């Protein structure tokens, strides 16, 4: 499943020190993918045609927001 693949990726990033040790990779994967699935569902449900280029800002915003809580703190 896609969630497990993203969670595994985040776990690998944790081992490399790029994600906090106390981060919940499964929850983070659910947040990212859930936001994307919801957006796709509503676009489909409402019949809106949105160019792929218009979605890049949305994805960047989701990832940047989540990374603030996943990134290791500097001491």
Q: Is 75 inside a domain boundary?
A: no
Number of domains in the chain: 1
Where are the alpha helices (H) located in 16-51, listed in sequence order?
A: 25-46
Q: Is 42 inside a domain boundary?
A: yes
Q: Is 48 inside a domain boundary?
A: yes
What are the residue ranges in the chain where pLDDT is below 50? none
pLDDT of res. 52 = 62
Calculate the alpha carbon distances from 66 to 11, 19, 55, 56 in Å: 15, 11, 17, 16
Q: Is 55 inside a domain boundary?
A: yes
For residue 59, give its domain range. Answer: 2-70
Percentage of residues in the chain having pLDDT higher than 70? 89
pLDDT of res. 40 = 84
Could you tell me the pTM of the whole model? Answer: 0.79
């Amino acid at each position: 499943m896609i969630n497990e693949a993203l969670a595994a990726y985040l776990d690998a990033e944790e081992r490399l020190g790029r994600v906090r040790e106390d981060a919940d990779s499964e929850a983070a994967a659910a947040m990212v993918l859930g936001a994307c699935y919801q957006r796709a569902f509503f676009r489909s449900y409402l019949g809106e045609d949105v160019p792929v280029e218009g979605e890049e800002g949305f994805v960047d915003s989701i990832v940047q927001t989540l990374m603030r809580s996943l990134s290791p703190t500097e001491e």
